[in-house]
């Protein structure tokens, strides 16, 4: 009888304690939610310490932090200061596990799309390239950042070349790098890339397309150098040359270049503009950039 | 040899009856199952998360079993005074220690095998491919468990279970930190600190050598040479500790 009474008392008491626990949980919830997930990351120790403290469970720790970081990325609005915490979290994750390629990729993108922190994004991507030299997407994304965010086409082109040279990279990256070099007014480098691609391609149709593109790039290179010499001539004499032959006569050019597609260069003496008879439009990059 | 096997068999049976063992296996299976759920929370890295969580669970549970069962095996016999009846039989003390060790590594091996099988099923169910690198990682985990069991046995031959647990855990922590400590000391350029950490680096077991979970989860296969050399290193270290454990136990009075 005594044990039955004891048994009977156990359940109401347990239910009462459980009910109180639930109540306390509900009561404490607002405190827990008052701080945004991202701001909680400020308590995150330096990645170097975390890596050492993980005692061989680095990847597991990096995964857990990565899942946390993803939840943050899903938040509607992220301020620049919150973005800094996101960068810190991503930096810690990639310090704990330097081969976490997805964290570099998604993190690099998030830092320029959810917030505008291109320098931090670049820092993360450069770290990724250093630790994962066989991943073409990292230099590709870095190139995009330099083009879209920092308007530095020459650096963007260099990273595109880097990406295009890694196994598994799409062939279009070489053409993209050439276009970026053109946009950076380095047509010779663009021509060199296309020439190398032409040499390494065995597909005949691709070879034909590259040949056409290469001729256009060489024409663009000639046009840009002619424009430079015309500008120099005008600086020296105070007026535009009457014809392109005047450039040779004034020893600014040794000879006039041949038009690579078999056409000719047309010169407008009144405006100093130079064009090609085979090229309807000048080669330029027409992609959008942030703020432009 | 027969006596050794009898002790090993008894240890195996005794540990199987230990309820903590089942709890730990249950915990590992739960964790592996949870890895699938965690995998759905991430973007595009489900396979990696499943592999990381699964391998970490197997490793952690294997080491916990090795430490917490290993430290009590000898002292339990002394506390229960069953050691007298055992040693009164034609069993040498070395055979007793070695038998205990063998019984425990059978248990460790069985546990790791069960957990690994469940893990492979989880990987298969989650739609990922089962990589050969996972087998390599688990083999080295098993070697790590052999070393940890030897450390636990070594301490349990001359100290109390609590002290043995603290010292074995200490070895586990240092074993995973020696490489980092050495790097930090090299940076400090203090010859004394460098000397101490270099000594620790060579004296303590370098457990980081057995940690290839990261490569395994990404499908990177380590070279056979590395695998063999690391396994040999682990076996040699365990042998050294067991020789010392047997020597200490031979001289011990009850």
Contact predicate B134/B55, CB 8 Å: yes
Question: What is the predicted pLDDT for the residue at B154?
Answer: 93
Residue A77 has pLDDT above 80, yes or no: no
> pLDDT tens across A146-174, in order?
988 888 888 999 999 899 889 888 888 88
Contact predicate B131/B216, CB 8 Å: yes
Residue A292 has pLDDT above 70, yes or no: no
- What is the separation of C-alpha A19 from the centre of its chain, rounded to a whole number of angstroms? 53
Within 8 A of A70 by CB-CB distance, chain B residues are 41-43
In angstroms, rounded to a whole number, what is the distance separating the alpha carbons of residues B39 and B17?
35
Residue A72 C-alpha, separation from nearest chain B C-alpha, in angstroms: 12
What DSSP letter does each residue of B132-189 carry, written as one string? HHHHHHHHHHHHHHHHHHHHHHHHHTTS-HHHHHHHHHHHHHHHHHHHHHHHHHHHHT
Q: How many domains does chain B have?
A: 1
Question: Would you call A57 and B48 a contact, using CB atoms and an 8 Å cutoff?
Answer: no
Alpha-carbon distances, residue B78 vs A3, B15, B157, B252 (angstroms): 38, 16, 10, 11
Question: What is the predicted pLDDT for the residue at A38?
Answer: 61
B222 near A CB under 8 A: no
Q: Would you tell me how many other CB atoms lie within 10 Å of the CB of residue B45?
A: 21
Alpha-carbon distances, residue B10 vs B41, B71, B77, B163, B169 (angstroms): 45, 17, 12, 25, 26
Question: What is the predicted pLDDT for the residue at B179?
Answer: 79
Question: Would you call A97 and B217 a contact, using CB atoms and an 8 Å cutoff?
Answer: no
Residue A43 has pLDDT above 80, yes or no: no
Question: Would you call A59 and B213 a contact, using CB atoms and an 8 Å cutoff?
Answer: yes
B217 near A CB under 8 A: yes
In angstroms, rounded to a whole number, what is the distance separating the alpha carbons of residues A174 and A125?
20
Backbone angles phi, psi at A242, to 5 degrees: -70, -35
Residue of A nearest to B183 (CA): A52
In angstroms, rounded to a whole number, what is the distance separating the alpha carbons of residues B56 and B66?
15
In angstroms, rounded to a whole number, what is the distance separating the alpha carbons of residues A275 and A219?
9
> pLDDT tens across B9-38, in order?
888 888 777 776 676 677 677 777 777 677
Give the residue numbers spanning the domain of B77. Answer: 2-251
Residue A1 has pLDDT above 60, yes or no: no
Q: Does residue B15 sit in helix, strand or coil? A: helix
Rounded to 5°, angle at Cα B121 from B116 and B127: 130
Question: What is the predicted pLDDT for the residue at B189?
Answer: 75
Question: Would you call A67 and B53 a contact, using CB atoms and an 8 Å cutoff?
Answer: no
Nearest Cβ partner for A59 among B44, B52, B207: B52
Q: What ipTM goes with this model?
A: 0.77
Residue A31 has pLDDT above 80, yes or no: no
Band of pLDDT at residue A3, cut at 50, 70 and 90: low
In angstroms, rounded to a whole number, what is the distance separating the alpha carbons of residues B142 and A57?
16
Q: What is the mean pLDDT of residues A17-36?
A: 79
Contact predicate B54/B89, CB 8 Å: no
Nearest Cβ partner for A56 among B43, B48, B208: B208
Within 8 A of A67 by CB-CB distance, chain B residues are 38, 41-42, 49
Within 8 A of B52 by CB-CB distance, chain A residues are 59-60, 62-63
Work out the mean pLDDT of chain A and round it to a whole number: 84
Nearest Cβ partner for B43 among A55, A59, A106: A106
Whose CA is closest to B119, among B70, B167, B55, B178?
B55
Band of pLDDT at residue A30, cut at 50, 70 and 90: confident
Contacts 24+ apart (CB under 8 A), A168-176: A168/A136, A169/A136, A169/A140, A171/A197, A171/A206, A173/A136, A173/A140, A175/A213, A176/A143
Band of pLDDT at residue A32, cut at 50, 70 and 90: low
pTM value is 0.74
Nearest Cβ partner for A58 among B38, B214, B218: B214
Question: What is the predicted pLDDT for the residue at A36?
Answer: 61
Question: What is the predicted pLDDT for the residue at A37?
Answer: 60
Residues in chain B predicted with pLDDT less than 70, given as ranges, are 20-21, 23-24, 27, 36, 39-40, 43-44, 254
In angstroms, rounded to a whole number, what is the distance separating the alpha carbons of residues B53 and B119?
10
> pLDDT tens across A174-216, in order?
888 888 888 888 888 888 888 888 888 788 888 888 888 888 8
In angstroms, rounded to a whole number, what is the distance separating the alpha carbons of residues A47 and A153?
33
Residue A244 has pLDDT above 60, yes or no: yes
Q: How many CA atoms lie within 13 A of A186 on its CB side?
A: 16
């Amino acid at each position: 009888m005594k044990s039955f009474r004891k048994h009977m008392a156990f359940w109401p008491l347990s239910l009462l304690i459980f009910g109180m626990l639930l109540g306390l949980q509900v009561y404490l919830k607002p405190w827990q939610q008052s701080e945004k997930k991202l701001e909680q990351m400020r308590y995150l120790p330096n990645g170097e310490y975390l890596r050492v403290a993980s005692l061989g469970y680095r990847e597991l720790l990096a995964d857990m932090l990565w899942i946390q970081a993803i939840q943050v990325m899903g938040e509607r609005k992220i301020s620049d200061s919150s973005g800094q915490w996101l960068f810190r979290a991503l930096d810690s994750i990639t310090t704990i596990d330097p081969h976490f390629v997805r964290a570099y990729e998604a993190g690099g993108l998030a830092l320029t799309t959810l917030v505008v922190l291109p320098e931090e994004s670049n820092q993360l991507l450069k770290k990724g390239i250093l630790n994962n030299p066989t991943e073409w997407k990292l230099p590709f994304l870095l190139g995009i950042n330099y083009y879209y965010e920092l308007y530095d086409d020459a650096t963007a082109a260099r990273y595109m070349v880097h990406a295009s040279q890694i196994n598994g990279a799409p062939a279009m990256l070489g053409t993209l790098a050439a276009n970026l070099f053109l946009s950076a007014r380095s047509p010779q480098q663009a021509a060199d890339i296309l020439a190398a691609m032409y040499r390494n391609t065995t597909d005949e149709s691709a070879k034909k397309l590259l040949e056409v593109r290469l001729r256009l790039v060489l024409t663009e290179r000639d046009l840009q150098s002619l424009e430079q010499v015309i500008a120099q001539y005008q600086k020296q004499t105070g007026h535009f040359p009457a014809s392109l032959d005047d450039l040779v006569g004034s020893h600014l050019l040794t000879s006039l270049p041949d038009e690579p597609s078999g056409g000719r260069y047309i010169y407008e003496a009144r405006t100093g503009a130079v064009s090609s008879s085979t090229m309807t439009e000048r080669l330029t990059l027409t992609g959008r950039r942030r703020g432009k | 040899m027969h006596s050794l096997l009898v002790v090993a068999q008894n240890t195996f049976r005794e540990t199987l009856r230990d309820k903590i063992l089942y709890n730990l296996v249950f915990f590992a299976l739960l964790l592996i199952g949870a890895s699938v759920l965690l995998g759905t929370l991430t973007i595009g890295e489900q396979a990696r998360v499943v592999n990381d969580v699964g391998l970490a669970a197997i490793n952690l549970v294997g080491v916990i079993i090795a430490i917490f069962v290993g430290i009590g095996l000898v002292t339990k016999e002394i506390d229960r005074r069953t050691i007298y009846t055992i040693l009164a039989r034609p069993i040498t003390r070395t055979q007793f220690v070695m038998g205990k060790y063998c019984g425990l590594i059978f248990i460790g091996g069985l546990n790791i095998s069960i957990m690994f099988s469940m893990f492979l099923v989880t990987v298969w169910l989650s739609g990922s491919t089962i990589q050969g690198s996972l087998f390599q990682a688990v083999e080295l985990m098993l070697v790590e468990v052999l070393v940890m069991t030897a450390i636990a046995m070594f301490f349990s031959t001359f100290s109390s279970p609590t002290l043995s647990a603290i010292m074995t855990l200490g070895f586990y922590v240092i074993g995973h930190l020696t490489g980092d400590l050495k790097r930090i000391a090299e940076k400090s350029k203090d010859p004394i600190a460098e000397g101490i950490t270099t000594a620790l680096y060579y004296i303590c077991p370098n457990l980081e050598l057995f940690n290839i979970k990261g490569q395994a989860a990404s499908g990177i296969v380590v070279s056979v040479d590395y695998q063999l050399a690391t396994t040999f290193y682990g076996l040699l270290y365990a042998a050294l500790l067991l020789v010392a454990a047997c020597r200490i136990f031979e001289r011990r009075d009850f």
